[in-house]
A and B are shown apart, each in its own frame.
Chain A
Amino acid sequence: MIDLSVEQLTVSYLRDTSHAALAIDDVTLDLAAGTVLAILGPSGSGKSTLLRAIAGLEVLDAGRVLWRGEDITGMPVHKRGFALMFQDGQLFTHRSVASNVAYALQIARMPVPEQRERVAELLQLVGLDGFGDRRVTELSGGEQQRVALARALAARPRLLLLDEPLSSLDRELRERLGQDLRRILVDTGTTAMFVTHDQGEAVLVADRIGIMMDSRLVQLGDAAQVLAEPATPAVERFLGRQ
């Protein structure tokens, strides 16, 4: 079953108040339920904007976003039931670890005892058992990303969007957390889409890979197939250089 469909999405960004340039140019893709798609591309290729546009954070110039066939293009961000995790976590610095994780649960008005239970369960899932009362500013980079993941998963989002979730970490930590991320996404059956400029990360976490270059989606397919058969010389250069 197809969960997410993106049809001919185009987004421009303001260079200054008078000049606009295209950040995403006519992107179309489908994402099947329970799969993890990695959008791979050099920096500035528009991959983060694509993610933000799907979340509803960008003003679209053209195109549609559908969820299981229903057009959600005009639906406000907070009603989409998605979750978004940033490169540097963007944890709410004025809240504790537990109340960061519980944020979406509070919005959903889950009873407090159940909230506590769910938070404990999530912290265990991401390997941060007993961290609930800590301040987020006391945590290491890897721990912060784990909290961000737990926060994103808390309300069981229909779609998890991850924006370079591992890029701010050092190599060893990135590999460990990448494996954890893969395990958690598979275990929870979450449909996910994440952007990265790191080929290794994409292979580690994703089932499918899309390549973005110069604001366009130039290739989309199974992970192994994309890496084995680059569609254009530019893609080959990009993949080969890493």
Chain B
Amino acid sequence: MANASTAVRTPPSIVIATVLGVGVPVAFLAVFFAWPVAAMIGRGVAPEGILDLGGFGEVFSRPRTIRLLGLTLGQAALASVLCVLLGLPVAHVLYRLQFRGRALLRALVLLPFVLPTVVVGVAFRTLLRGTPLDGTFVAIMLALVFFNVAVVVRTVGSAWEGLDPRQEDAARVLGASPARVFLTITLPRLGPSIAAAASIVFLFCATAFGVVLVLGGTQFGTIETEIYLLTTQFLDLRAASVLSVTQLVIVVALLAVVGRVRGSTQRRVAIARRPRRSDAPALVAASLITAALAVPVLALVERSLRTSDGYGFTNFALLAGTGSRNALVVPVWVALGNSLTIAVQATVIAVTIGLVASLVLSRSPRSPTARRALGVFDGALLLPLGVSAVTVGFGFLITLNQPPFDLRSSPILIPIAQALVALPLVVRTVLPVLRSIDPRLRESAAVLGASPWRVLRDVDLSVVARPVLAASGFAFAVALGEFGATSFLSRPDRPTLPVVIYRLIGLPGGDNFGMAIAASVVLAAVTVAVIALVERLRVDTVGAF
């Protein structure tokens, strides 16, 4: 590739490789992302092929739209504030103090974040069933906070870990009480990371789908669930695209904010110390919060083992069937098989395209034009992060059903959609590692006689092997739990596990509720196992958020 060491005369194979390296990811994004999203926007702003914003006026004059928009933003704002308040003491304890069992505790606190959204929804339905909170706004709020506290703990924690504690020491010696040190020194220094974490949580909550759909019914929701309902239940595609465009604008604006506040990620040596007396309030708070995080998971597992006469594996045995009232077309185990197959396919697509794109992006070409082009490419790759999965699924539905890409009945559609959702994650795990390779390493290899391909193999690919493995695990876990896009594209005879769980929880009579819970436990167990393997690789994944 256009490396400084090969600038004398670039071999044709390298030129071809570069063109392919840029071309394949760009073509993939153009066909499976830009086109569907553009078509979806077109439905909203120009339904007859000419610009007509009347749809916006009509949709926004509906009281339900205004209510849901307010609900989406208010809900996300409240959840962000709560996550920050609860996450700060935990971040302090887990990243600033040194004690036995800290690594395990960190892993447990981060667990909720990797659980599939549908599983979290089912867990809270299980926990709150029979209480006045079931089906309320409070239930949704609890689930959103449960889900996202980990974002604050991890983002703020890793910033906190790197803060030099001697500024706090200086303030304490100058007479500042612990509370005052926190308010006047620590908090201002953590400001950027708190802002970044809060805006990411806001983003996740504002586009929350699976959790809200399972817990909210038709009364509560987000723009995201409303798009789903408008499309699948009311067939009001125009209103759905108006809402998609609205959401797109909000999300892109938010991403810009995140990019701005996401300060420098320079990392220092972590300095942890033994707990002291003034840490008592934080320790108590962190213990309570951590214990609270375990409750929904434990409730889910406990309920999955409950049978009509005590405890047993009846609910799991029922997964071999199709549920009461013929809820499903295929047995749950078949759906699990589908999920695993599709997730593997999605992982292969996401990792292949993500790795090729990262290799290209990690080069620094000499020509300013090429550099600028790479910058645009970089931004384009992260765009799917900003567009909701429901929008992507919806876009697929209205574009890929006609020539030249009549993929409506093709089984490859779901893996492609899931790969799009996982792609930014892959790039953000792999690219920083490639960028951190000292270019002199490649130059030394070249000087020692390695051909450009050999340099690529011996330097880049060997350094990036573990991060690629970690990214594969992440992509697999994300694909496995993906519900937003999949719910649009999945067909009744070939459902994935999250789709089956949603179906079962929606028809709760007979054995169905117990089956939904057992299936959730299975899905959670597979996901957690994959993430545990990824964690063992010890790749720095903070940037992946």
Q: Which residues of A contact B (CB under 8 A)?
A: 14, 17, 52, 55-57, 59, 76-86, 90-94, 103-104, 107-108, 151-152, 154-155, 161
Least CB distance from B175 to A in Å reads 5
B458: A residues at CB distance < 8 A: none
Asked if A107 and B176 make an inter-chain contact with CB atoms under 8 angstroms apart, the answer reads yes
User: In the complex the two chains form, what is the Cα distance from A56 to B171 in whole Å?
Assistant: 13
Specify the chain B residue showing the minimal Cβ separation from A52: B169
Q: Tell me the bound Cα distance from A86 to B173 in angstroms.
A: 11
For chain B residues 79-111, which have a beta carbon within 8 Å of chain A? 98-100
List 10 additional contacts besides A78-B174, A79-B175, A94-B189; criterion CB under 8 Å.
Answer: A17-B98, A57-B169, A59-B276, A78-B172, A78-B180, A86-B170, A90-B167, A90-B169, A90-B170, A103-B176
Tell me if B167 and A92 are in contact (CB < 8 A).
Answer: yes
**CA A198 – CA B224 in complex, angstroms?**
66
CB of A81 within 8 A of CB of B175, answer yes
Write the nearest CB–CB distance from A154 to chain B, whole angstroms: 8
The chain B residue with its CB closest to the CB of A154 is B174
Q: Which of the listed residues B174, B178, B180 has the most CB atoms from chain A within 10 Å of its own CB?
A: B174
Task: Tell me if B451 counts as interface (CB < 8 A to partner A).
Answer: no
Decide if B185 is an interface residue (CB 8 Å cutoff).
yes
Determine if B99 and A17 form an interchain contact, defined as CB atoms under 8 angstroms apart: yes
In the complex, which range does the number of interface residues on chain B fall in? 20 to 34
Whether B171 contacts A92 by the Cβ 8 Å rule is yes
A209, chain B: closest CB distance, angstroms: 23
With a cutoff of 8 Å between Cβ atoms, the chain B residues found around residue A103 in the complex are 171, 174, 176, 184
Interface centre among B99, B170, B188, B276 (most CB of A within 10 A): B170
Shortest Cβ distance from A89 into B: residue:
B170
CA distance A55 to B169 in the complex (A): 9
Please, which residues of chain B bring their CB within 8 A of the CB of A82? 173
Q: Let me know if B164 is at the binding interface, CB within 8 A.
A: yes
Docked-complex contact B166 and A152, CB < 8 angstroms: no
Complex interface: chain A residues within 8 A of B185 (CB): 92
In the complex, chain B residues 177-213 whose Cβ is within 8 Å of any chain A Cβ: 177-178, 180-181, 184-185, 188-189, 191
B274 an interface residue at 8 Å Cβ cutoff? yes
* Contacting pair B174 A152 (CB below 8 A): yes
In the assembled complex, the Cα of A139 lies from the Cα of B274 at a distance in Å of 34
- Choose among B98, B169, B175, B181 the residue that contacts A104 (Cβ–Cβ < 8 A): B175
Contact B173 A161 (CB under 8 A): yes
Which residues B30-48 have CB closer than 8 A to chain A? none
By a CB distance below 8 angstroms, the chain A residues around B189 are: 93-94
A92, B187: Cα distance in complex, Å: 12
Q: Which residue of A lies closest to B278 (CB)?
A: A76
What is the bound-complex CA distance between A91 and B278, given in angstroms?
A: 23
The distance from the CB of B161 to the nearest CB of chain A, in whole angstroms, is: 16
> What B residues does A77 contact at CB under 8 A?
169, 172-173
Q: Once the chains bind, are B174 and A94 in contact (CB under 8 Å)?
A: no
Knowing A59-B276, A90-B164, A155-B175, say if A84 contacts B170 (CB, 8 Å): yes
Contact status B177-A78, CB under 8 Å: yes
Question: B interface, by DSSP: helix, strand, loop or mixed?
Answer: helix
Which residues from chain B contact A107 at a C-beta distance below 8 Å? 174-176, 180
Residue of B nearest to A151 (CB): B174
CB distance from A9 to the nearest CB of B (A): 17
Assembled-state Cα–Cα distance A104/B176 (Å):
8
Between A78, A81, A103, A107, the greatest number of chain B beta carbons within 10 A of the residue's beta carbon is seen for A78
Contact residues in A for B164 (Cβ distance below 8 Å): 90
- In B478-513, the 8 Å CB interface with A consists of none
- Expressed in whole angstroms, the minimum distance between the Cβ of A4 and any Cβ of chain B is 14
A21 to chain B, nearest CB (A): 14
CB neighbours of B100 from chain A (8 A): 17
A111 to chain B, nearest CB (A): 17
25 CB < 8 A contacts A-B: A14-B274, A57-B169, A59-B274, A76-B278, A78-B172, A78-B176, A78-B177, A81-B175, A82-B173, A83-B173, A84-B173, A85-B170, A90-B167, A90-B169, A92-B167, A93-B167, A93-B189, A94-B188, A103-B171, A103-B176, A104-B174, A108-B175, A152-B174, A155-B174, A161-B173
Please state if A83 and B171 are interface contacts (CB–CB under 8 Å). no
The answer for the CA separation of A104 and B180 in the assembled complex, in Å, is 11
Q: How distant is B119 from chain A, measured CB to nearest CB, in Å? A: 34
B166 near A78 (CB under 8 angstroms)? Answer: no
Whether B173 lies near A80 (C-beta < 8 A) is yes
Residues of A within 8 A of B98 (CB): 14, 17
Residues of A within 8 A of B166 (CB): 86, 90
Per-residue A-contact encoding for B148-172, CB less than 8 Å = 1, 0 else: 0000000000000000101101111
Closest CB pairs A-B (n = 6): A84-B173, A104-B174, A77-B172, A94-B188, A107-B175, A90-B166
Q: Which residues of B contact A151 (CB under 8 A)?
A: 170, 174
Residue of B nearest to A17 (CB): B100
- Chain B residues with CB under 8 Å of A86's CB are 166, 169-170
Query: What is the distance, in angstroms, from B188's C-beta to the closest C-beta of chain A?
Result: 5
Which of chain B's residues have a CB closer than 8 A to the CB of A85? Answer: 170
With A and B bound together, what is the CA distance between A115 and B171 in angstroms? 17
Q: How far is the CB of A38 from chain B (nearest CB, A)?
A: 19
Chain A residue contacts of B278, Cβ below 8 A? 76
Which of B172, B175, B176 has most chain A Cβ within 10 Å?
B175
Query: B173 touches which one: A17, A57, A91, A94 (CB < 8 A)?
Result: A57
Complex partner residue of A78 from B167, B175, B184, B188, CB under 8 angstroms: B175
Instruction: Find chain A residues with CB under 8 A from B180 CB.
Output: 78, 107
Residues of B within 8 A of A55 (CB): 169, 173
Residues of B within 8 A of A161 (CB): 173
Which residues on B sit within 8 Å (CB–CB) of A81? 175
A141 to chain B, nearest CB (A): 16
**Cα–Cα, bound, A95→B278 (Å):** 25
A91 to B185, CA, bound (A): 10
Task: List the A residue with the shortest CB-CB distance to B277.
Answer: A76
Bound Cα distance from A206 to B34, whole angstroms: 72
Q: Please indicate the chain A residues that have their CB under 8 angstroms from the CB of B188 in the complex.
A: 94
Measured in the bound complex, the distance between the Cα atoms of B174 and A81 in whole Å is 7
B503 to chain A, nearest CB (A): 48
A57 partner residues in chain B, CB cutoff 8 A: 169, 172-173
B184: A residues at CB distance < 8 A: 92, 103
Closest to B272 in A: A14
A78 partner residues in chain B, CB cutoff 8 A: 172-178, 180-181
**How far apart sit A83 and B185, CA to CA, in the bound complex (Å)?**
16
Complex Cα–Cα for A155 and B170 (A) = 13
In the complex, what distance in Å separates the CA atom of A192 from the CA atom of B257? 48
Chain B residues lying within 8 Å of A91, measured Cβ to Cβ, are 167
Q: Which residues of A contact B169 (CB under 8 A)?
A: 52, 55, 57, 77, 84, 86, 90
